[in-house]
Amino acid sequence: MIIAIDGPAAAGKGTLARRIAAALGLPYLDTGMLYRAVGRLVLEAGGDPADPVAATAAAKALRAADFARGDLRDAAASKAASQVASIPEVRAALLAFQRQFGNENGAVLDGRDIGTIIFPEADVKLFVTASLEARAGRRHAELCAKGDEVSLEAVREDLAARDEADARRAAAPLVAAADAILFDTTEMDADAAFARALALIEARV
Ligand code: C5P
């Protein structure tokens, strides 16, 4: 079984996907981590994440240890991720890994193009959204809890800029698949979102 969970930044996809995977006994893949790790590799090598040659080389060299690292959520890695993600060769280099991961034992995958490009035949597709205000508030609280002193305004601007870039890019833009269930979590806490999403999924499979 493949469950595709897509949507804009900080909509709660990760928390939701992890809990759904645990409930259904499926492996979970946070595909944003792949792009973050590629962006971080380029930055560490002193390169420019917007440079297709450097970014593609990093994507091809990516190893599991690179995206298992815990320090990929900061603003620099987020921006670099969004930059490398707009390069078609980078996306192509990461596609086989994602399909292989899902095809081994089934999986819950979250990202931007899981239901449209990676697994267009997924059993269930959720497109998770929430207002920019709600998403910024949640991400800000998450960063503050980690001791990252960033303003709400800066978080809101970062999310808006990434959403805009992700939605406008030519390569695999952020868009809901025609057969995705639209799932707005603005008024839901994590527990309510999980319960509703699980019920929706169980009704479909
Ligand atoms: O999901 P997350 O915010 O960690 O993703 C970081 C960036 O990686 C996104 O802004 C997007 O540009 C890119 N991404 C993508 N396709 C995916 C997952 C993430 O383009 N499937």
Determine the pLDDT at residue 103: 98
ipTM of the complex model: 0.98
Give SS3 for 48.
coil
Ligand 1 centroid, distance to 113 Cα (angstroms) = 9
Domain annotation for the chain: domains and CATH numbers = 2-199 (3.40.50.300)
Q: Do the annotations mark residue 12 as ligand-binding?
A: yes
Of 149, 185, 182, 167, the closest CA to residue 86 belongs to: 167
Residues of the chain with pLDDT under 70: none
Ligand 1 centroid, distance to 162 Cα (angstroms) = 9
Are 23 and 6 in contact, with CB atoms under 8 Å apart?
Answer: no
Look up the pTM and report it.
0.94
Nearest CA to ligand 1 atom 4: 32
Residue position matching structure tokens 């095809």: 103
Determine the pLDDT at residue 68: 80
Helices (H), the chain: 13-24, 32-44, 52-61, 64-68, 75-85, 88-105, 132-145, 152-168, 190-204
The pair phi, psi for residue 171, each rounded to 5°, is -85, 115
Question: Does residue 28 have its Cβ closer than 6 Å to ligand 1?
Answer: no
Residue position matching structure tokens 């060299």: 61
Whole-angstrom distance, CA of residue 18 vs CA of residue 10: 14
Whole-angstrom distance, CA of residue 141 vs CA of residue 183: 22
Distances (CA, A) of 113 to 1, 7, 27, 62: 17, 9, 18, 20
Ligand 1 centroid, distance to 195 Cα (angstroms) = 25
Q: Do the annotations mark residue 56 as ligand-binding?
A: no
Question: Does residue 113 have its Cβ closer than 6 Å to ligand 1?
Answer: yes
Determine the pLDDT at residue 65: 83
Nearest CA to ligand 1 atom 21: 111
Query: What H or E segment, with its residue span, contains residue 188?
Result: none
> Which residues, 6+ apart, have CB-to-CB distance to 19 below 8 Å?
190, 194, 198
Nearest CA to ligand 1 atom 5: 32
